Amino acid sequence: MKLVLLLVLVSVAVCVGALLLLITRARDKRLLLNAVRAAYSDAPDGIGISVLCSGVSDPAQIENLLSPEYARYEVIVVLDGRHHVAEFAALVGRYRMIRVEWTHSGELEVEGVRSLGRSRKRHFRRLVLVDRVRGSAAGDFDAAAAVATYDYLLPVSAGQFLLPGTIERLVAELGEGPPGTLGLVQSHLGEPAALLSREAVVAAGGFGMHPLRVVPRNRRRTLWEPLLTVPFSRRRLSGRLRGLLAALLTTAFIAVSAAGWWWASAVFATLALVWAGGEYAARLADETAPSASGRLVAWRRLFKQYYGTKNFPIS
């Protein structure tokens, strides 16, 4: 029994060590690509990415999503203008949205769309605003995909922010092989993120039909690095609690080692290794998260300027 336990603990330790190695290599690759960002800022092979937003109305989050300097890139925000009146008005005023004709490819079934808006400002042309009756997130993503310009789609929900260099990192990953080689690029570190090809979404019949399942394994790629983050995740332990946990693990390991209980020592050592790996991944995901003060200032500034406006060009 003890031999089996020891083999299991060794296997866990090896897996954690391999995962940490993958995370470290991914971080180094990301830093390298950030250093030479200018080399691939002109959309190699015409690769374009459309960010699809459901329930996103936070000005700070939208500014974050618009921040990438990549050329072939757009952000499509789907929001119910009659249910979120103040937020919708703030977006219309901030980006000077005007109503344009609603047309889509017909590849996906879309319902509840009232209107489509684009910005008058040249430097905000990459922003698209869809006024749709409030429904499921999958329906919002389908509506955004129906008007998306580019062939790769990145769904984003409320509260999720892009980490610096995320879009460029995804483009670099897509550009490593022949065009159309990958149908899915995903990351489970930080906030789970999945970049899907339009082909996969259409083949599945929309986001409500779990399009990740239709992508063959040879067309998938997993990035061992965070792509999305949230400013305050309730799943994160507080600093004091993390320190207390580390102290307890250390104390328990010393106590059982002094007592000569080698199997208990192995268990605590493995737990400490797993905990350290999780902390390392969480630190990478949180190191560039937006601050709460920045989001609050953005809200106050926009509502002070646009709150109460009666001009709704696209509602």
pLDDT in tens, 206-255: 998 888 888 999 999 999 888 998 875 444 545 567 667 777 777 877 88
| H or E stretch at 244 | helix 239-258
The reported pLDDT for the residue numbered 302 is 41
pTM: 0.74
Average of per-residue pLDDT values in the chain: 79
Residue scoring higher pLDDT (24 or 38): 24
Angle at which helices 262-286 and 239-258 pack, to 10 degrees?
A: 160
Check if the beta carbon of residue 43 is closer than 8 Å to that of residue 149: no
- Whether 257 has a pLDDT exceeding 70, the answer reads yes
CB atoms inside a 10 Å sphere around CB 82: 13
Q: Residue type for 182, please?
A: L
What is the b/e burial string over 85-106, where b = at least 16 CB atoms within 10 angstroms of the residue's CB?
Answer: eebbbbbbbbbebebeebebee
CB atoms inside a 10 Å sphere around CB 172: 20
CB atoms inside a 10 Å sphere around CB 276: 14
